[in-house]
Each structure stands twice: as C-alpha cells, then as structure tokens.
Amino acid sequence: MLLSIRNYTKTFHNKAIRNLTLLLIIGLLLRLFLSQYFTYYPDLNTYQLWSLDLIRFGFKKFYSLAISNYLPTHLYILWFTGKIYYFINAKLFFIKPELIYKLPGIFADLGNFLLIYLIFQKRISSKILFTLLLVFLFNPLFIINSTFWGQTDSIVIFFVLGSFYLLKNNLLTLSSVILAIGQAFKPFGILVLPFYLIYMFKNNIGINKIITYIIVFVITFCLLFIPFNSGGNLLLFIFQRHFFSIENWNYVTLNAFSFWAIILSIFKRTIGNISEKELFLNLPFFTWGVIIFGIIYIRLLINFIKNLTNTKNTLYLFFFSFSLVFYAMFLFFTRVHERYIYYGLVFLTLCFPFLNKISRFLLFLLMILHFANIVFAYSAASIFNIYFPLWLIVVFSLANLIFFLYFVMEILKRSK
C-alpha cells in the first residue's frame, strides 16, 4: 500500500511538471508571437538608445552622457540586452529590436509564473493552483505590459516574489540580496521591507539575523551603484541618482486614472502638465500625496502586525497587504504613471483563491479600468487615436478610488 501511494505521488508530481512545462512553452511562444504588435515606441527607442550608450561608453560615463532616470539594475539588464541584440544583428542575422528588448519583461513573466507555483503548491489545491496559474500567465493585461508595451514592471514583481519565497523558506541572506537588487531596479522594494522585518520579528527570528538582513540589503544596494560612480562619494552619488529620478518627472500625474486625476479635473480642468510643486489647500500636491499614502501605509502595517500571529493564511495577509500598498501608491503618490496599478493588480490576482465573489468581480472591473488607462496612455502618445473626455477620466478615476476603499474595508473586516 505504501508503495502504491509513493507511485501515485510520483505520477502526480510528474504530471504536474509536464503541465507546468507545457504552460511555460505556450506562454513563451504566445508572447514571442505577440511581441511584434502594439509596441510603445517612445519607451522601446529609449531602451535601445541607452543600451547603445552603455555599450559604447561604459557604466562610469553613462550618467554623465545620457539623461536617464533609471537605476543600476535596470541599466545592467539594458546593457546585456543590447549586447545580445547587436551581436545577433552583426554576427548572425537581422532581428527586430521589438523582440529582443521585450525579452526581459517576457522572461520575468515566466519567472513569476514559476515562483507562483513554488509559493502556492503546498498551500492550495492543485485545481485552484492550476486556475491561478492560468489566470496569471494568460491575463491580457499582464501580456500587454511586457509583450505589447515592452515594459519591465514584471521584473519588479519577480524580485519581490523571489525575495518573498526565499524569506518564507528561511533563506534570509538570499532574500535580502534579491530584494536589494529589485530596489536598485525601481525603488519600490522598500515598501515591502517593513512587512518582511515584522514577519521575521513575529516568527522569533533572532534580532541579529534581522539586523543582518538589513545590513545585507543596504550593502548589496550600494554595491550595485559602484560601477556607475565616477569616483566621488558613493552615498552622495546614490542620493543624486534618486533625486534625479524624482525631479525628472515632477508632474502630479502621468496619465494615471488616480485620485489626483479627479482633483485636477475639478480644479484645473486638465490632468496633464501640472507640477506637483503647485499648492493645493496650502500644501504642494507632492506633500499631500506623501501624507495620504503614509497614513494608509501605516494603517496597513498596523493591521498586518495585529493579524500575523492570528491568521493561518499568511499568504493572503502578505499579498493582500502588498496589493493595497501598491494600489495606494498608484492612487495617491504624485508622478505616478498609468502602468503602476499593475503591481497592485498582480498581488490582487494572487489573492484570487481567497477572495469572495464580490471581490473577484471588482478585480475583473479593475482590470477593465486598467485596460482603459492603457488605451488612454497609447492615445496620449499618438499610437492610438481615441478621445477620452474629461468627465470619463473622472468616472474611471472615481471607480478606481471606490474599489480601493472597498478592498481596504475588506482586509480590515477580515481582520476583526
């Protein structure tokens, strides 16, 4: 009997691996085929130009020659992608840049697919897991981001999910390194770091290990900047790069259907080209964004602390908290692009097995809103020619805000 159980387990495992491999292949081929369509060329052309600058002039001279707000990890990836692109075109055969420069985001999609499997495989049934994997891998919005647009937001998710998986498996040093690499890609990793530290403290991981986690994070993050530093003070250089990133786009909103789109539509009759330094109720828009987001973030942290030891479903608590943090970032921070709700959508999608019917329906509506926001961004770049009246932008933005408030109430209600 024991032998038959082992054989069944082995057969089931082999079948799962086969299905996983098949889905990966289909997901990859689908993305490769679709990568030739609906490219957002303002971004793709910038990637190609910066990768060429990195190859020609090297890391140390890059920031002095190129006007770039990208951080080192992103630039390492662009350098490597450019090397592949120019090698293939020079030595082998002509290949369109659309394919090569979209590969990092596409491969990150597939990496996220595998991480989702590893994280959830022992926590939900195989049927629900298979559904979740399908919903993620073939989600049109996630395909649009990496495969049509050519964006790299999926890479940020990869670093967060990777660090989370390593944290849950008690591989703390590796988790810290991966999160730091992600932070040096886009400075969003810092938003999940406090949740990690609270988790370690609540699970009686020694204070020395927690301090080590922070130190490794800081050291790894700083080391990634060294090749780009031309010899000055490293900490000052890191600060300058972040400050440049902040100052490079200092508008209240960048095509996002956010809380600020509502405010600007009412008070400015436009959502474009309004500086975040302008005053609103005696404070700059930027300051209001930090205050509102800070209040929400602290409330979510308090909720996380209260419920971490009381819940058996830590995945739900982690990912729902992450989703609302990134959702709030999209709604209330200034300088936010239309794409940035993507991060909240990914983590809400990972909560799909644990959501009630109303929440699932609202998640579906939220994805429709995000699709409309993408179409709006394409139209703003003259890729599409679809007119969005101001009242419609207000309606969409208000819906985003209402859905967010519902999800906040949902996590607080479940926590009682």
Q: What is the pLDDT of residue 13?
A: 58
Q: What is the pLDDT confidence band of residue 247, given thresholds at 50, 70 and 90?
A: low
Return the closest-CA partner of residue 160 out of 127, 124, 119: 119
Q: What is the pLDDT of residue 309?
A: 84
Say yes or no to pLDDT of 341 above 80: yes
Say yes or no to pLDDT of 10 above 60: no
Q: What is the pLDDT confidence band of residue 245, given thresholds at 50, 70 and 90?
A: low
Q: What is the pLDDT of residue 5?
A: 44
Beta-bridge partner residues of 337: 254, 255
Q: What is the pLDDT of residue 4?
A: 45
Mean pLDDT value of segment 176-187: 96
Say yes or no to pLDDT of 156 above 80: yes
Let me know: does 259 contact 332? Beta carbons within 8 Å. yes
Q: What is the pLDDT confidence band of residue 2, given thresholds at 50, 70 and 90?
A: very low
The two structure tokens encoding residue 179: 């999160």
CB neighbourhood size of 390 (10 A): 14
Q: What is the DSSP letter of 227?
A: G
Mean pLDDT value of segment 334-354: 96
- Listing DSSP states for 328-373 in one string gives HHHHHSSSEEGGGHHHHHHHHHHTGGG--HHHHHHHHHHHHHHHHH
Beta-bridge partner residues of 158: none
Q: What is the pLDDT of residue 287?
A: 96
Q: What is the pLDDT of residue 106?
A: 98
Say yes or no to pLDDT of 3 above 50: no
Give 12-26 pLDDT, tens digit per residue.
457 788 989 999 999
Say yes or no to pLDDT of 310 above 90: no
- Average pLDDT taken over every residue of the chain: 93
Q: What is the pLDDT of residue 311?
A: 81
Let me know: does 51 contact 21? Beta carbons within 8 Å. no
Helical segments of 121-152, H only: 126-137, 140-143
- The number of residues in the chain equals 416
Return the closest-CA partner of residue 14 out of 3, 24, 22: 22
The two structure tokens encoding residue 95: 């290949």
Say yes or no to pLDDT of 223 above 60: yes
Return the closest-CA partner of residue 113 out of 144, 149, 150, 142: 142
